[in-house]
Structure 1
C-alpha cells in the first residue's frame, strides 16, 4: 500500500470523534488500544480492530481497500451494523474472542455487498484478543486476507484438471504423465482398460511389462536417451493387452518445461496403429499387384478424369501416366464410339458395373481388342466418388477364337471330303473284290495309307505336308524305315492338304502293286521317286512327281483294271487338276503326275520358302 494511503487512514483515525462512540476520546485510550491501533496502521496487510463487546471498527488502509465503497462509513461503527449480511457470524466471533479465544478460518465464504451488489467473497481470517494490563480482553484484532482470486484460480484449475482427465479418459489413445526422471505417476482409463494392470504395477516405467520382448531393450534405450537430452520421444512397438494379444502403437512423449527451460514433467500418449499398419500392408500388396499386373488398371474421378495409370496400361495403350492423368478416358475410345462412352457412364453413375469385350484406341491410333471391367468406387456412406477400370488385352484370344471358327469350318469341310473319299474307296474296292477277306485287307491298307497322310497334316496344323515325308510315310510299310531299294530326290516342297491326301492314296496303290508284282517284290528291285518344278506345253510351271521301278520281274500290263488302277490313273489326276502318265514298260512301271502350283504350299513351318523355279 503506498505511504500516502497509509497516511490517509491514520489521519482519518486521528480526526474521528471517538468520544461519540463507546471507545471514548483518544486521550483516554488505554495503552493496549493505542499500541494495537499503531500496529494495524503500520501493516500493509488488511487488519481491523473490533473494540469492546460492540466491536467498534478501527481499520487500516488495507482493510479500507477490502471494504470497497462501504469505506469510510464503516469507521467507528459496530461491526454488526457495518456488515449486517454477516452480523451473526461476527457476533459469534466477537463473543468468542472477548472470552479469550483465538480463531482462524481459511477460505471462508461470504456473500458481501462491498460495492452495492452482492458478490461471492472468500477470505482467510485470523482473530486474536487484545488485552488490558490486567489481562482482561478489551477487543478483537482481525487479520483479513481476500483469497477470492486464489479460490477462483484453484477452482478453475480443478475444473481444468477434471476436464482434462475426462478428456484424457475418453480419447482413443492411452495418455500418461511422468516426472522429470521418467517415473510415471498417472495413466488414463484407456491404459488400464487395455492392459489390465493395477496402478501399483504400472507406475513409474511399468509399461515395459506389456512390451514385446523383442522390442524392450531398443525402446528403453531410446527412452533413456530422450530423458537425458530432453528431446521429444517417439517410437513404434507392440504392447500386449489383457487378452494376451499384441497390438502396434505409435508412442510419443513431450517434455514440459518451467520458465528456466528445465524439464519438470513429461506428457505422453500411445496410439493404436494396428489397423493402420494392416491397412497399409494391404495397400502395399494392392499397389504391388497393380504395379506388376500386365492388365491395364486405371482409376477415374466422378467426372471421368483419369487419376491413376499403372505400367500395364502404359504398355497396353502407349501413353505414359504424365500424358493421361487429368484427362478424360474418352481418348481411349474409338472416334465413332460416342454412344458407347455415354452409355458406360449412364450405367456407372447408377451404381452398375460395366463388363464387356470391346475395342479401345492406342496412342498411335490403332485399335486393340480388350475385355473391360469398370465399377464405381464408393465412400463409407455409399456415395460414388470415382470409378476403377481393368483392361485385359484379348487380341490373342480373339485370334484363337477366329482360328477355331475357321478350323471348325475346315474340319467340317474336310470330314465331308474324307467321308466321300472313303465311301468311293469302299465302293470301288467292293466292286473289284469277290472275297470278303481280301476286301477287308485291301480296305485296311488303303485306310492306313490315308491315316498316314492325315498324321502329317495334323503335325503341320493342316497347313500342308512335306512331300518327302509324305512319300516315306506311305512307303514305310513296304520298304522299312531304311532301304537301299528306295531312292528319293527333289527339293524341299510342301503340298497342301488336298494334294497330300490324294497323292498318299496314289502312292499307296503304286506301292501295293510294286510289292506284289513289281520292283518291291524282289531284293534286286529298285524304286526311284523324284520331283521337280517343270514347265508344261503352255510354259506354265508345274510340280512334277515321277515314280520309276527297275530290277523287278518283267512287267505285264493287267488284263483287268481294279480300283487301285483307277485311283492311280484317273481319280488323283481329276482331284488335283493334274496330268497323269501311267506306263508299263517291261523293265518296270513308270508313273508321273504334273500338278498346278495351286497345290504347292509356298512356305514351310521353319520359314518362308523361295518361289519355285524350273529344274
Structure 2
C-alpha cells in the first residue's frame, strides 16, 4: 500500500506551522542547511543576541565567547560531515548587558526519506547551574585545602555513623585507607582498652544529638599509641534542623598528657613527703603534751597536735588520689572524723555527707573548721567524763555552695555566747578567721539539748 501524496499547499502550510512553532518557542532555536549554514534564528535568539539581519545570520559565531569558539568548531567539525547529533557548552553574549552566559546547545539532523535536509538546534541557558556547580567545587576545594592544612586529624560521618570523609592527615597518621575506615573500621585504631567505653559515650551523645569529646589513645601507623582529644559536633539541615552529618577532629595531646602525668606524680610525691613531715611534727607535739605537768600547756599542745594532724590528713588524701588539684570533701571529712574519734573514745563521732568536689587549697581551711568545731564539742559539750554523740554533716546547697554542720546533744552554749564578739579563745579566733578566709559564714544555734554550728561555704572552681 503506497503512501498518498499530499497536496503542495498542505506541505507549504506545514512548513509555515513548523516555523511558527520554532519562532515562538521559549528557548533559543535555529534551523540550518545540510552544510551547517544557518538559515533561520527564532525570536528568542534574536532578542538575546541582538542579531536580526541577514548579515548577522552569517556572523552568528560573534555571539559565542571567543574562548569557546575553538571547542565549538571542533565539535561541529566532527559531527556535521557525518550527519550526527551533537551537544556543546558555550557562553553566549547577551546584548542587553554585554554579559556572556553559559548555554548548552543541542543540535540534531533532520532526515527525509533517508536524506539529510536540515539541522535543528536549541540552546538552553544553564548559567546559574554552571556557576552554582563551580561555586560548589570551589567551596569543596577550599574546604579540603583547609581541612588538610589544619594540624588536627579531621573526619566526617553520617547520621548512621558510616564514614564519609577523612582528611589526609588522618590517613598519614594511622596508615589506613578510606576502604578500611568504612563502617566501624575506625574503632580498630582506638586502643582496645578504651574502644568500648568511648563507643558507649559517643553513642549516648549521638542519640541525644549533642556535641561530644573524649580522650583516648590512637594508633599511629608504626603501631605506637598516642593520646588524642576527640571532638565532634553535629551538622544540621538549616530547614528541618535534622542532623545530616557529624564533623570531628582528633588532636594529639600526648606531650601534654605525659607532662600532666609527671606533674601529678610530682605533686603526689610532695604531698606524701609533706604528710610525713607533718605527721612527725604532730607526733612531737603529742609527746610533749603527754610529758607536760601543766594542764594548760598540755591542752595547747594537744590542740596544736590536732590541727597539724588535720593538715597532714589533707596531704595524705591528696597523694592517694589521681588528681591532686581537687579533693572530694566527703571522703576527706569521713577520714578526719575517724581520726578525731580515735582521740576521744568516750564519744560517738559520726559523719554523713554528699559528694562535694572542691579545689585543694580550699580543703585545708575547711578541715581546720571541722577540727575546731569537733574539738570544741569534745571539750565542752559533755563536762567531766561523760561522753555523747557528735554528728558532722555535709550537704550541697545548689550548684555553688555547701553547708557544713556540727551538732552535739551536750550542755549547750554558755550564756551571752557571741561569735562576733572579741574572745580570748584561740580556737574560736582561729574558727572565725578561717571562715572569713574562705568567704564563708558561720551561725551557732541553741538546741534542746545541745548546739548546732552551721557553716555556709561557697564552692570554688
TM-score range for the pair, normalised by the shorter chain length: 0.3 to 0.5
Answer with 1 or 2: which has the greater Rg.
Answer: 1
TM, length-normalised to structure 1: 0.37
Q: TM-score, normalised by structure 2?
A: 0.47
